[in-house]
Amino acid sequence: MTDQFEPTVIGFTCNWCSYRAADTAGTARMKYAPNIRLIRLMCSGRLDPTFVFKAFADGADGVLISGCHPGDCHYVEQNFKALRRFILMKRVLVQMGVEPGRLKLLWASAAEGAMFAAEINKFVEEIRKLGPLNWGKDEGGRMKDEISSFITHPSSFGEEVPA
């Protein structure tokens, strides 16, 4: 492990297409950067913007949102709702001083494992260029506190964190 900055990226996938794209990449042993960690939702429409801000507040340097291609959403058209939220979130991020490039939207079908892997690599590199987000440290963690203040969720790990 070198000393270069290793970004941490959280990826949201839907249960039907994009999670299966990840499965496809796995089954085919396609390699990609270990910087990404995926969370499965039923549909990209489930993506509450809170999740994205929470991820940034908790130390993610980038967030990927992925879902089925337009027209392929298994709940008819909920990915269009994700698309709308994505556009809004980008604007909010800019207002919070975060580079909008830290948020990415990706449509992936279950067959597109190779594309999924390649896009993850690309995204990780883009985030690497942007550098660490450090929301937790900026101005004494002001942003993190601000975000936490509207997420009513008691931390699972508290202050004492195992390393």
For residue 24, which phi and psi values (nearest 5 degrees)?
-65, -45
Minimum distance of ligand FES from residue 111's CB (angstroms) = 14
**Which entry of another protein, ligand FES, none binds 51, CB below 5 to 8 A by partner kind?**
another protein
Q: Is 43 exposed, middle or buried (0-12, 13-18, 19+ CB in 10 A)?
A: buried
155 lies in the site for another protein, by CB under 8 A: yes
Residue number with CB closer to ligand FES (14 or 36):
14
CA separation for the pair 90, 78 (Å, rounded):
19
x-or-dash string of contact with ligand FES, 35-74, rule CB under 6 A? --------xxx---------------------xx----xx
- The dihedral through the CA atoms of 53, 77, 41, 11 has a sign that is negative
Task: From 23-31, 75-83, 115-123, 155-163, give the range in contact with ligand FES by CB under 6 A.
Answer: 75-83
CA separation for the pair 98, 91 (Å, rounded):
10
Write out the two tokens for 77. Answer: 């058209």
Residue number with CB closer to ligand FES (68 or 143):
68
Positions touching ligand FES (CB under 6 A) are 14, 16-17, 43-45, 67-68, 73-75, 78-79
